[in-house]
Amino acid sequence: MGELPLVLFTVLSQMAAGAFITLYILDVKGKQFSLETGKLSTIVIFITTVVSILLSSFHLGHPLGATKMFTNIGSSWLSREAVLFAVFLILLVGYYTQWKPDKASTRTQLGGVTAIVAFLAITASGMIYVLPARPAWNNFAPVLFFWLTAALSGPLFIGTLFAIKGEKILNLLLPTAIVIGIGLTSFLIYTSLLVSSTGLVQATGINMLNSSLFWGKLLLNWLVPLIIILASVLWKKKLDTKLVTVVFLMVLVGEIIGRALFYGSIEALKIIGS
Amino acid sequence: MTIRNNLRQTVAGVPNPKYDLFIHQQTLFKFWSFIGKYYQGELLQNTDLLHTTLREFTDFIKPRNPKLVEGLELISTITNSELQNVIFDYNQLFIGPDKLLAPPYESAYCSPEGLLMQDETLAVRSFYFKAGLEVSNKGQIPDDHLGLEAEFLAYLLWNQRISLEECTVGDNDAGTFQQMYSQFINQHIITWIFDHCNDVIKHSTTNVCRAIALIMYGVLDLEKHCLV
Amino acid sequence: MGKQLGFLVDSERCIGCHSCEMACKNYYQLHPSLRRRKVHPIQENDYSMPERNYMSLACNHCVEPECMRVCPVGAYSKRDDGIVMHDPSRCIGCKMCIMACPYQVPQFDPEVKKVDKCKMCAQLIDKGEKPACVAGCPMEAIQIIDITSFNKYGAVKLLPGFPNPSITKPSVRFIKPTIGKQIRRDK
Amino acid sequence: MDKKISFNRRTFLKGAAAASAGLAIGSSTSSFNLTGLKPADAAGDNKAQVFRNACPRNCYDTCAILSHVEDGVIKRVSGDPGSTYTRGILCAKGFSYTRRVYSPDRIKYPMRQKGRGSGNWQRISWNEAYTEIAENILKIKKEYGSTLPICLDKYSGNFDIMHYGIEGMMSSLGYTSRATGTPCWPAGIDAQTFDMGTIISNDPEDLVNSKYLILWGVNPAWTSVHSMYFVKEAQEKGCKVVVIDPVLTQTASKADLYLQIKPSTDGALALGMARYILDNELYDGNWLHNNAKGYEEFFGYVKNNITLEWAADKTGLPKAVIEQLAREYATTKPANIWIGYGMQRHTNGGTNVRAIDALAAITGNIGKSGGGAQYAHLQTWGFNYHAMMQNPPEGTEGGGDRAINMNNFAAEVLAAEDPPIKMLWLACRNPMAQDPETSVMRKAFEAMDFVVTVDQFMNATVEMSDIVLPTTTLFEAPGVNVSYWHWWLYLNEQAIKPMHEAKNDITIAMELSAKLNELKPGSCTFPTSGDLEEWVGKEFNDGIYQMFGINHWTDLKKGPAKAKNSQVAWKGGKFQTPSDKYEFYSEEAEKFGHHPLPIYVEELKTTDKYPLRCISPHWKLNIHSQFQNLDWMESINNEPRLEIHPSVAKEYGIKDGDSVKMFNDLGYIILPAKITGTVPIDTVVTYEAWYKSKDFNVNYTVKAIPADMGKKATGMPGIAFHDNFVNIEKV
């Protein structure tokens, strides 16, 4: 699978960015958790991002030239993405140093900026694929789906981390359920729009439906987690360490499968000859 | 023949570093002379000679990496029937008339088009020229034929040895030959030799050609790390 | 808008002989897998009668090149005469342009792990010479034109099978193949 | 650095043993013994040079090539602008030449195969090769008291004049058996020879002067791209271009009018047109009166035997269309017909060509610029054939060479008696791939004692040889070329040294001769030495010099030359027939067993068992078994297809890309289907070609049925390649 580096890069980087935004919100909302955990989360987010970027370099013919990628922010979303993630990493370092009792205010300020950069980075990632040559992508969908990846996997990532660190269990049931709801509906609407369309767009839609990845994503990414959550609500259970980890991993795999589907089913414009 | 002072194993009871270098370049000289003769087809006329020379390898090459181990072991397994068929094997790999299974030309591996007489060939030509040599039938046999490249390396080592015998290591002559040798290995041999050896290992039908390919692979794998 | 060089492809003269493609390969001694110019057959059912018609295409040196827009390292540039250049020394082989070009023009060179594409033989054009493909066509079916000043009766912006030109405004014009009278035994 | 080296180097060195080993290689006082290398003399010359070459392939266009050489290596080729016919442009094949010269697949050394077809190849020296060949020749001579058991099969792989030295080599051995005839075009040659005395065609550059042009069974868009340019130019100047062909060829796609005639019924169409021209008195009475013999008889035949209804029924073309075609052709002046080689590869191909010639004659188009009935010409081929003309050794007995029909080669080789054929020499030829009845050909090869093949690439014929000798490409030896279509003369300069151990055919002949005379003095008369360029010079004579207006052959180094004032065939109206007139009624034809008049001879028809006709024309990316094996060609197309009409495909339940078996009594081929409306309903099409490492060969199914004519001019009738009847099934 040629696009594997891209699949892993996009999913992991979006998860990391989403995780940071979650961390920031928790911090601002004054949720109780130790500086230690804050520190650790920042490190983990940093590492995840770095790893994802390293993975992406396997996609390049000349990985060592990657630094050149900052040079065309004027028009290239790929270039912008590169810059934004670089800035994100730098800010993370700064943010890391702010996990001290007396630095709460500067931390929230710096965190705010970082969160915005993270959000923009995800958006840039999505914009890369808004290409006229790939009609099924040439719309709001890539950006939306990349946001949703961050919004779903990010909080679960942090949730799991916190659970493992023995922090007070975060109540992710509602937010997760909502994001899954939005994701599921928008994805189904998108797919049906593709299929009901014509030409390459329709062809893309049909590729998706014919792919086993489609059902894999549906189940792991949304349905099963949703069921688990509903069940927990019914039995008034919180997402304890075990459960949140399970849901998180499931969603992560679901996202990866989904991204593979995203790259694998697209139909591009070409010259049609016999 | 007597070994000159500066090449004695020990000088006044102390191990002599130059001695190692001397012995080593002898080993390589022997190796490259063999490869040169082998690829120029000389050894095939006399399979017994080929066999004995191969067996000698086990005397002076230490099995220091898997490829060498495998290669040296194969040598001991070589059967007579294989020696009889080596010629056909050899021809299918390096001679023809059919599409070559392992073309012995650098440019066949390195040129974007996999063609002969490309830039690589001419680079090799100018390298020979720096050492004051050229291909006997220039323009007909591609300069980057492995038989010629090996002969060239042997030539460099030979001259290095002479200067070694006559003066101290690190002296300019020996130094230049040493430098040319490593340059040629780095710029040319290792750019393709491993792919080539793999082709031989993959396609050869006798342990003779396979063993030689394995040993060449092994030796160069070690050379690669030695050379600066 | 200033000068914009482009190809005029006369599909009425084109006989699909591939000489243009080979002339290019011969001039640059290209890797077999690299086809800077490709002769595309037009589907038989695209016209009233089955015929053997072709469109010979290389880089279209678009007015709004997607390759140039999306390239993160700025390997692409547009000369004053509109030729879209690609600088291998900048290229890092990210394949973004391959994804973005509606015509599959940029190709990944497996040897150098970078992208390769037609540059309209800019170095020859600067010497006032014809590109290899133009000079190599036995039917004189390919010409270099300045599309800003070009208006030939019967020239069109697309042929059947050619993607919608509105995306990148390709600098290519075609002469439609005329379908002659056929007396067939299957009708 | 030294320390580092010596330290690292301990890694794979067995100290003591190595010492002995190291010292075992002799004293440094003895100097290093160079074999493949030698001390460099002067500075390597790396100046860029351009050489003139001439494409020697069997092709109408015979292109003038420039090869651009640096460091003794061809960097690229280009067309020579000196020729107004090729106009400095090559074709896809010509532009691919570097791939051929420097292909790693080339045959590099003389080799011997242990067991024909076994693949057990052994490299041998040229001397060993010569010795083995010479000994076999001498053995045969001793055993049979003659060299007739030695058979040469050489033809069109290389038409460079110097390559007739191969025939020369054979002649210098004594009398031998010779593959005689030509597969491609003899029926047409005889037809025009009966009508006009020989074949002469207008300068193709004169096509632009035509006002009406019928391309009859010819596809220049694929087989003569440079002529197609002039066709198009004529069309743009208002000339109406009509293509008559069973297949909607690339040329047909460019025509104003395409007529999908039933295969092999071209004569019926021509005679139908003649009837209309006759009834409406559109013929040129004056011209006939002054220049023709037997036109009354011809008109009589047409009046009594031909009707337009009949012609319409035969050809499958509506009567009205034939009438319109006849009217337009007869009333537009000048009107030109280009008769292709495709349409004469039938059992009635020759008479069909005569009928078409007759059209050109009755309308008075022959001998006119922009008019005529073009087939080919050999007017520029008046060389000395110095390399070819060799005398048999002293005291050679017998009545000369023995002709073996090239077009039924395998069968006749097997049938040959007292003496039988024991040895084959193949050059410029790949019969295992290109001749009909492949299975019989294999038997013939197996029956031989000794087979020598001279070639550049491994192919089906080399596989069946005992010895293969590597030969030069056009860039590696000097030569001279002319065309059977255009009127240019090109010198071929040696641009580079022969790669590997390749040798030119003449060099091979010289060195083999030396070996023969060494083993048995006087056994071969071929010169044993000589400068190849001088040999090129020896091919020239005053006739050539006058025709091309040059003083010396070396003038051609400055650029190609074109024949003076011979651009319009039969201008003077003086024909080379016995009667010096155009002969509608030909006693010559009668002598060779044909009807004296161009009457209609019934075409072969499909049978119930084999309801489809398979036509196997030339493919645009190859010439017979050359070029399609080069990687650049493979990148464009590397898959033969069977072209099937949509309704036929439906009938057989075949979809595009399906694997289809095409078969008849001789054999079968399996290949993917291409559903296309360019082929007629009663015919399938696949192109004759040799694909490297693909078991595709249409000749598995082609029977060696002779065409009706060819005996007079070429010694043997042609092959009715296109009367091949088959059936297909999905597999």
Where exactly are the structural domains of chain B? 11-104+114-226
**How far is C52 from chain B, CA to nearest CA, in Å?**
31
Question: How confident is the model at residue D4, as a pLDDT?
Answer: 33
Indicate the residue among D374, D392, D424 that finishes a domain. Answer: D374
**How far is D498 from chain B, CA to nearest CA, in Å?**
6
The answer on pLDDT for B215 being more than 50 is yes
State the CATH number of the domain containing residue D320: 3.40.228.10
Sign of the alpha-carbon torsion through C142, C145, C148, C149? negative
Question: How confident is the model at residue A173, as a pLDDT?
Answer: 87
Question: How confident is the model at residue B169, as a pLDDT?
Answer: 46
Query: Hey, which chains touch B, using 3+ CB pairs under 8 Å?
Result: C, D
Question: What separation in angstroms does the CA of D462 have from each of B90, B99, C128, D156?
Answer: 19, 13, 48, 17
Q: What is the pLDDT averaged over residues B42-67?
A: 82
Q: What is the pLDDT averaged over residues D291-302?
A: 97
A with B: touching (≥3 Cβ pairs within 8 Å): no
Which residues touch C56 (CB under 8 Å, ≥6 apart)?
C9, C11, C14, C20, C21, C37, C38, C39, C40, C133, C137, C141, C142
The per-residue DSSP string of C24-39 comes to HHHHHT--TT--SSEE
The answer on pLDDT for B12 being more than 70 is no
Question: How confident is the model at residue B211, as a pLDDT?
Answer: 93
What distance in Å separates the CA atoms of residue B193 and residue B201, rounded to the nearest whole number? 12
pLDDT band at D43 (very low <50, low <70, confident <90, very high): low
Collapse the DSSP code of D555 into the 3-class scheme (helix H, G, I; strand E, B; otherwise coil) and give the result: helix
Question: What separation in angstroms does the CA of D314 have from each of A212, D321, D521, D722?
Answer: 59, 13, 64, 17
Amino acid letter, A211: S
The answer on pLDDT for B65 being more than 50 is yes
Q: What is the pLDDT averaged over residues A239-256?
A: 92
Task: Determine contact, residues D462/D468, Cβ cutoff 8 Å.
Answer: yes
Least confident of B121-125, C112-116, D17-21, D406-410: D17-21
Q: What would the pLDDT profile of A135-149 be if each residue is shown by its tens digit?
A: 999 999 999 999 999
Which residue from D175, D198, D179 is spatially nearest to D188, judged by alpha carbons?
D198
What distance in Å separates the CA atoms of residue D525 and residue D388, rounded to the nearest whole number? 12
D270 in a domain, yes or no? yes
Return the beta strands (E) in D312-458 as ranges.
335-339, 372-374, 402-405, 423-427, 450-455
Chain B interface, mutation test: which of C26, C28, C31, C113, most B Cβ atoms within 10 Å? C31
Yes or no, beta carbons of B121 and D73 under 8 Å apart? yes
Question: How confident is the model at residue D1, as a pLDDT?
Answer: 33
Structural domain containing residue D223: 202-374
Question: How confident is the model at residue B223, as a pLDDT?
Answer: 82
Q: Which fold has domain B11-104+114-226?
A: TorD-like (1.10.3480)
D487 in a domain, yes or no? yes
Task: Determine contact, residues C169/C78, Cβ cutoff 8 Å.
Answer: no
The answer on pLDDT for D27 being more than 60 is no
Task: Determine contact, residues B142/B117, Cβ cutoff 8 Å.
Answer: yes
Question: How confident is the model at residue D46, as a pLDDT?
Answer: 66
Question: What separation in angstroms does the CA of B202 have from each of B105, B192, B206, D692?
Answer: 17, 15, 11, 22
Which is higher by pLDDT, D565 or D727?
Answer: D727
Indicate the residue among D355, D374, D393 that finishes a domain. Answer: D374
Q: Which fold has domain A4-264?
A: Formate dehydrogenase/DMSO reductase fold (1.20.1630)
The tokens for A75 are: 């028009």
Helix (H) / strand (E) containing D727:
strand D724-730
pLDDT band at B80 (very low <50, low <70, confident <90, very high): confident
Q: What is the pLDDT averaged over residues D328-350?
A: 97
Task: Determine contact, residues D649/D679, Cβ cutoff 8 Å.
Answer: no
The domain spans of chain C are 5-175
Which residues touch D687 (CB under 8 Å, ≥6 apart)?
D616, D617, D618, D619, D640, D698
Whether D430 and D327 map to the same domain: the answer is no
The answer on pLDDT for A106 being more than 80 is yes
Which residue from C50, C177, C53, C179 is spatially nearest to D681, judged by alpha carbons?
C50
What distance in Å separates the CA atoms of residue D493 and residue A83, rounded to the nearest whole number? 60
D656 in a domain, yes or no? yes
The answer on pLDDT for B188 being more than 90 is yes
| Closest residue in C to B114 (Cα–Cα) | C31
pLDDT band at B15 (very low <50, low <70, confident <90, very high): low
Yes or no, beta carbons of C168 and A77 under 8 Å apart? no
The domain spans of chain A are 4-264
- The CATH architecture annotation of domain C5-175 reads 2-Layer Sandwich (3.30)
pLDDT band at B76 (very low <50, low <70, confident <90, very high): confident
- Specify which residues D213 forms β-bridges with: D241, D336
Yes or no, beta carbons of C95 and A59 under 8 Å apart? yes
Instruction: Kindly state the greatest CA–CA separation across chain A.
Output: 71
Chain B interface, mutation test: which of C30, C111, C114, most B Cβ atoms within 10 Å? C111
Chain B interface, mutation test: which of C25, C29, C35, most B Cβ atoms within 10 Å? C29
Q: Which residues from C are below 8 Å from B113, CB to CB?
A: 29-32
Whether D218 and D268 map to the same domain: the answer is yes
Task: Determine contact, residues B214/B201, Cβ cutoff 8 Å.
Answer: yes
Question: How confident is the model at residue D178, as a pLDDT?
Answer: 96
State yes or no: ipTM above 0.95: no
Q: What would the pLDDT profile of C46-89 be if each residue is shown by its tens digit?
A: 898 999 999 999 999 999 999 999 999 999 999 999 999 999 99
The tokens for A135 are: 């009609």
Q: Does C136 touch chain D (CB under 8 A)?
A: yes
Task: Determine contact, residues D702/D585, Cβ cutoff 8 Å.
Answer: no
State the CATH number of the domain containing residue D460: 3.40.50.740
Q: What is the pLDDT averaged over residues A90-99?
A: 96
| Rounded-to-10 torsion of CA A41, A44, A45, A48 | -160
**How far is B147 from chain D, CA to nearest CA, in Å?**
8
Q: Which residues from C are below 8 Å from D73, CB to CB?
A: none
Collapse the DSSP code of D317 into the 3-class scheme (helix H, G, I; strand E, B; otherwise coil) and give the result: coil
- Residue D695: Cβ within 10 Å count: 10
